[in-house]
Amino acid sequence: MSNNQEVTSQGHTHRQRTRDLPWDRDSVNGGPTSISILLNWLKTRGNYARWDAASFVRHEREQVCMEILTLMQTQGITHRHAMSISHRIQLLRRNYNTAREFINHARGNGNGNDPILLTYARRVCEHWDRLDPIMGPQLIEHHSEGSEAESTNTS
């Protein structure tokens, strides 16, 4: 019988739920933690968009999460699973969106750069500073120099 099973007084075997190590305390031999690997993966250009685009197709999302899982395994972190990684990203996004909605509402009523607002955002979303550039509103860069192809002048 494996370590995570127990026999009840009626002789039935039940699987005990094992508790995962915290995402911020599972580094192996001084390497990066699961959350650190995940946040670094998310900040790589296009990765969050790939995960988000795979939202409605379980197989596609699992494939993307397997990529992250492989990174974790190369660092010796072997207790994570693809779907727990997807769940963690969903949790990060939920916390980020809660903080973002509060800030957007508060900015409508005054100074959006108020340190109190940022303190709140960081309390609701521990990784606010790393997630805001990834999950936040993306600004489209406008170049001051227009190209001839962009001209609408017909004269």
3-state secondary structure of 88: helix
Nearest partner of 125 among 51, 39, 41, judged by Cα:
39
What does the pLDDT look like over 105-126, one tens digit per residue? Answer: 887 755 556 888 999 999 999 9
CA distance 132 to 76: 29
What does the pLDDT look like over 78-101, one tens digit per residue? Answer: 999 999 999 999 999 999 999 999
CA dihedral for 41, 43, 47, 53, sign (positive or negative): positive
User: Which of the residues in the chain have pLDDT under 70?
Assistant: 1-19, 109-113, 138-155
CB 134 within 8 A of CB 42: yes
Report pTM.
0.74
Domain ranges of the chain: 23-134
